Amino acid sequence: MIGIFDSGFGGLSVLKEIVSLLPGEKYLYYADSAHCPYGEKTREYVIDRALAISRLLMERGAEIIVVACNTATAAAIRTLRATWPDFPFVGMEPAVKPAALHTQSGVIGILATAGTLKGSNYLDLREKYSDKVKVTEHVGQGFVELVEKGILDGPEAESTVRASVSPLLDAGADTIVLGCTHYPFLEPVIRRVAGPDVEIINPAPAVARQTERLLPRRQETDKSITGHPDITVLSSGPSISNDTIARFLSL
């Protein structure tokens, strides 16, 4: 079984990519909705939540855990791996490298939560590529809240997205990295606001490939399986309907 968790339902964007590679696996997804969003929480708070959720997923049979949250990865992935050194964890990494390789203007934009932008993983990546490209950042203010409410388009979504994307465009970014797993659900709006000449990079497909590589028994995976995947969704707080979950996974 593959365990996956996020501060809320944004990690379903990662689950969708993993299911497309591994349709025959069983999945247990945990949305920590009672504590969402993580972006403005302290590092210690997020670590405590990540430890508690990982323990729950293991107790329920998870053989690998995907931390489908950039903020939780930045705060807790090292602690998780140190606590369970023999257990496979897959985390999120802001796609600074592919953005740096793709940009023509020499300016890349990072949309992420405050917690991710302060994390050592991101800061190390930014430092590594800072002599090659200019990195400009902005918090996707209100993005997580929109997705948690299921507002993925319309005037409210567009005005919220425009407020955070415009500063990146004004700085000359021709490539924008989605540094939060909630943000891909707003990607159509982001693309509309950014325009056709701006590349949008979603790291979720790369995370799915890493999950496939690290999954125990991966040689036994049957990719010919069709039909509805075996997915169980748990939440620490307000949940969403099965129809909404299906909608998220089909986007």
Q: Say whether 36 is catalytic.
A: no
Q: Say whether 69 is catalytic.
A: yes
Catalytic residue, from 180, 200, 231, 245: name it. Answer: 180
Catalytic residue, from 28, 36, 46, 69: name it. Answer: 69
Q: How far is the C-alpha of 141 from the C-alpha of 138, rounded, in Å? A: 8
**Looking up tokens 């993580």, which residue turns up?**
38
**Cβ–Cβ under 8 Å, residues 50 and 79:** yes
Q: Which residues are catalytic?
A: 69, 180
